[in-house]
Chain A
């Protein structure tokens, strides 16, 4: 966390962003296979969602077990407008984002009054309702087998989706922007207020923080980010099915937040990347990957509840302290980056 502005931030905190930008710029070029590019694209989309969810869960402390519903709103929203009304994807996308934002506002207003377990169940219920609607309202959504024939993104003759590398750059440019904005947010007055809400909502209120309004704003922001991911997804694949945006995906997203680390932007990136790659690595397990997710969740909460990023950094610091002969120094102040 740095209250003073970029000027005096230590090198350690300023390094990740340029490194990330370099990596994101170079990696697509190194991947030969269209399949790997597709995985890279999905990874980017997951990062978008996880950063948004972390802002809500990690920073503000509001648990959401139905976040995939907003992804679905973006994907289905944009897809349906395109397939049923024939609008251009460039119009469908912003409209579906707006729609999701409004929906999130309407849903968020009443349910963000709830705390802890109750909020979890309300978001879970909402997510399942959306999933069920996607399955049942077949005339609109294409039913269980999904919606296909969605147009891909083009500008005139220039196609964004083939070769896939163009889409990868589009998505990761969006991810880069998202990370920068999220970091700005977290280090700002609003970011502090959000974390204060997590720390003690009542105390924050007595200091002048309009907690209800901020929670709602963050909720809507994370929903819109999720729907952006959904829209990007559907206009790449040309297709969306309820199975890809239901309860299972909501749990995946929560797992990514937990694994990467709550209340850390880079943690979200790392968590999303690891858990997008994991199923690829575990394909031999087929359906049992869900078993692995369960084990991961349990083990993370038992042994590394602060997430991979902080856990690894702490391990390095520990090792460093041992090597230089110092005792175990106290933990550094919580960083928001």
Chain B
């Protein structure tokens, strides 16, 4: 059976499963993480709970509806691992409740997705990259660990289109990082590993080289990379968290850099990657509100004040509906721990740290394994994921039930 993996935003669609009766016996072509999702899809499953006690699903749903109906300030959060169809229902619920809605992109690459959607950064698809890209730059990202097949499926290693001769002759790899990560180790022959401490220094070096001046740092690296980019008509920069946090909220230098690079050659930007459907949420919310995240339906605008972590920190909400995310695992503790003090409802197929302190736990389905739907790849291409075995109780079912009740 051929399926699309939902392990990350690569959304590889060439995965095949072999069954032994009902059980998945072999997963082919998926990376370790993706294969694990299919092989271990029934481990550590969530159970319906109210106040830490296991109950029947109906009871948990009732309690969740009560809590939401009674809430004065609700935030809906997570959503990056669920389908666009479920995200739409969540947005509908937020609108009905005049609530806040935010996802992980606020502290991930949401800013970059927003810049792309607003046309501030030129972009391309991963297929375009495979068929055309010469200089491929991974800036502040280590795909070997976060998006294992990224380089072999879409960028440096595969042959395609105008790049028939493979990585040794038709590609130039640049890896920018604060340490020699696994990915950086691959920068060998036609490649450069640029070790940075402050990304702004490297941006400055590129700008100086393009303006005919000599930078104090990275003179050789910047000059070489610019020279290589000029050789081709298609180059790409994949930006990750290292770049985001390196820029520390000020994207102007990077936007200026991209503009200048496009005067000397064609250079596109694609966010490196994230949860399977983070971009799906950004695009769905953007279509409706013009914002990619941290939105308030009451105030009809987005703001840093409406970021999930800010709302929790500032005691601005009394209820949090968390879908497919585990803030206790991924957000600073001082922020996430406050979820125990408010009415937290968790919708998740698996038991998570946050579900341990939630008032209500509603077990749902794993996207691409137990629920079907649409997801959006890191480059904006829409992909259909099909369930291996559809579960009746999934994100759309639970969220629709909650919407009906309020």
Query: Are the chains A and B members of one assembly?
Result: no
What is the interface of chain A, defined by CB distance below 8 A to chain B? Answer: none
